[in-house]
Amino acid sequence: GTRRAMNQSRRPPIADSSLALLAQGYTWLPGRRRRTTAPLVRARLMGQHAVALHGPEAVRFFYDERHVERRTALPGPVLSTLFGHGAVHTLDGRDHRVRKEMFLSLLTGAEAVAGLVDRVSLVWDEAAKSWSGRRIVLFDEASRVLAQGVCHWAGVPLDDAGPVARDMVAMVDGFATPGPRHWRARRARARSEAWLGQLVEEVRAGSVTPPAGSALDVVARHRDADGRALDPRIAAVELLNVIRPTVAVAWFVSYAGHALRPRPDVRERLKGDDLSYAVAFAHELRRFYPFVPFVGGRAVTDLEWRGEPIPAGTMILLDVFGQNHDPALHDDPYTFEPRRFLERPPARDELIPQGGGDRAAGHRCPGEDVTVALLRALGPRLARLEYDVPEQDLRIPLNRMPSRVRSGFVIEGVRAPA
Ligand code: MYR
């Protein structure tokens, strides 16, 4: 409101960068950073003054609630597609902590992680038998496996994982671009919220009884900081915030196919039982390949970063892709090399593909352990699968957000291990 309008008039005019962001995608912020000597990048995005920061110290600055809030930060089009209106991503302070606790209780801890990963692994092993001798698109198959696994684990009844997988993928795929992908994402969200909102009402009415402690059960019974149960639509939004990101691990599974193709050495090592190598492989996938370009919030008050003023209301972006490819943090950042994380496990605020800071106190992804564990389970499974990689478009365009292997990674002549 006024705060924003005021500081806009105080700022020097900077050409709006929304189009540059669309055209340059992941390389926009890192490119801007290389061309400036200032400790931050200044830009205008969607008509608003924005600054972009990166580096471990910036991560700590950004995830300090006294500095950055989320309440008004996420653009409407991103909420209408990716996260959902009223989602945990849009809360601050106590409201946020109480809602976030629900996600942490579901998604963290050895038991929770193993429950989800074992379920997905079973579905993968079944599906892999059906791939035998066929030509498949790894991205599509992985998204179905993940959708079926996570819904079963969450207590969400499902006849056919296909349409759910497609809707979850559409919501992620369409959040950052105008045009048909965006409208597909909005329709996918509307359909999914209606489906799960109805299901939550059935649970509350007693006509559906999910397993105790399942995500469906927990979300249906959750009480917010104000002591009230979630509106069924918000409950649907938060169930989707468990299901959709789990399905989105399909991006990394197809990236794993892409990574293994030119690297028989990595494949050989991944086939074995070396769990720490599989974890290092998971970290390197998350570091190397483009997924989250940056995350954003808004300055709560007048701030200063390394002598540069950041007026209250400024959009503050944390350059995730840039930080994950910063040669000051990762040697030879454009080489895919899982070994780097064997020698030195990632520091909390250095490797930030799913956000930084403390996940209980802040907005770091509560599903990060699940993601690493899923990739630790599926990476070796993919490595043990024998297949041919036909001629196809394996490019990963950095000007597409989110990017993906263009072909989805097609494999043929699949031979599942005995
Ligand atoms: C998910 O489905 O939640 C996982 C995919 C997350 C992609 C996250 C992209 C973050 C974009 C934030 C935009 C901030 C704009 C100010």
Atom of ligand 1 nearest to the CA of 247: 2
Kindly give the distance from the C-alpha atom of residue 352 to the centroid of ligand 1, in angstroms, as a whole number: 13
pLDDT at 34 over 70: yes
Please work out whether the CB of residue 78 comes within 6 Å of at least one atom of ligand 1: yes
Q: Write out pLDDT tens, residues 51-97.
A: 999 999 999 999 999 999 999 999 999 999 999 999 999 999 999 99
Q: What is the structure's pLDDT at 379?
A: 98
**298: Cβ–Cβ under 8 A, 6 or more apart, which residues?**
68, 69, 70, 71, 72, 73, 313, 314, 315, 316
Please work out whether the CB of residue 185 comes within 6 Å of at least one atom of ligand 1: no
Please work out whether the CB of residue 172 comes within 6 Å of at least one atom of ligand 1: yes
Kindly give the distance from the C-alpha atom of residue 403 to the centroid of ligand 1, in angstroms, as a whole number: 12
Kindly give the distance from the C-alpha atom of residue 316 to the centroid of ligand 1, in angstroms, as a whole number: 15
Please work out whether the CB of residue 296 comes within 6 Å of at least one atom of ligand 1: yes
Q: Write out pLDDT tens, residues 320-350.
A: 999 999 999 999 999 999 999 998 889 999 9
* Residue owning the nearest CA to atom 2 of ligand 1: 245
Please work out whether the CB of residue 102 comes within 6 Å of at least one atom of ligand 1: no
Helix orientation angle between 232-247 and 180-205, rounded to the nearest 10 degrees? 120
Kindly give the distance from the C-alpha atom of residue 82 to the centroid of ligand 1, in angstroms, as a whole number: 7
Please work out whether the CB of residue 245 comes within 6 Å of at least one atom of ligand 1: yes
* Residue owning the nearest CA to atom 11 of ligand 1: 295
Atom of ligand 1 nearest to the CA of 402: 7
Which CATH number applies to 2-415?
1.10.630.10
φ and ψ of 315, to 5 deg: -70, 130
CA dihedral sign of residues 382, 383, 387, 392:
positive
User: Which DSSP state fits 79?
Assistant: I
Pair type for strands 303-305 and 308-310: antiparallel
As a residue count, the chain comes to 418
CA angle 358, 150, 221 (to 5 degrees): 70
Kindly give the distance from the C-alpha atom of residue 396 to the centroid of ligand 1, in angstroms, as a whole number: 18
* Residue owning the nearest CA to atom 3 of ligand 1: 245
Please work out whether the CB of residue 32 comes within 6 Å of at least one atom of ligand 1: no
Residue from 78, 189, 240, 317 whose mutation best tests the ligand 1 pocket (most atoms within 8 A of CB): 78
172: tokens are: 């992620």
Kindly give the distance from the C-alpha atom of residue 97 to the centroid of ligand 1, in angstroms, as a whole number: 19
Please work out whether the CB of residue 20 comes within 6 Å of at least one atom of ligand 1: no
Q: 15, 4, 14, 59: which is closest to 318 by C-alpha?
A: 59
Strand ranges inside 63-182, DSSP E: 68-69, 136-137
Q: What is the structure's pLDDT at 416?
A: 79
Average pLDDT, the chain: 94
Kindly give the distance from the C-alpha atom of residue 129 to the centroid of ligand 1, in angstroms, as a whole number: 34
pLDDT at 9 over 90: no
Q: How far apart are CA 309 and CA 164, in angstroms?
A: 45
Q: What is the ipTM of this complex?
A: 0.95
Q: 119, 129, 113, 163: which is closest to 143 by C-alpha?
A: 163
pLDDT interval class at 14 (50, 70, 90): low
**Bridge partners for 388 per DSSP:** 412
Q: Write out pLDDT tens, residues 177-236.
A: 989 999 999 999 999 999 999 999 999 999 999 999 999 999 999 999 999 999 999 999
Please work out whether the CB of residue 248 comes within 6 Å of at least one atom of ligand 1: yes
Kindly give the distance from the C-alpha atom of residue 264 to the centroid of ligand 1, in angstroms, as a whole number: 32
Kindly give the distance from the C-alpha atom of residue 265 to the centroid of ligand 1, in angstroms, as a whole number: 33
Question: Which of 333-351 are b and which e, b meaning 16 or more Cβ less than 10 Å from the residue's Cβ?
Answer: beebbbebbbeeebeebbb
User: Which sequence spans correspond to the domains of the chain?
Assistant: 2-415
Residue from 82, 247, 404 whose mutation best tests the ligand 1 pocket (most atoms within 8 A of CB): 82
Question: What one-character-per-residue DSSP string does 359-393 give?
Answer: TTTS-S-TTHHHHHHHHHHHHHHHHHSEEE--S--
Q: How far apart are CA 166 and CA 178, in angstroms?
A: 19
Q: 288, 246, 260, 247: which is closest to 386 by C-alpha?
A: 260
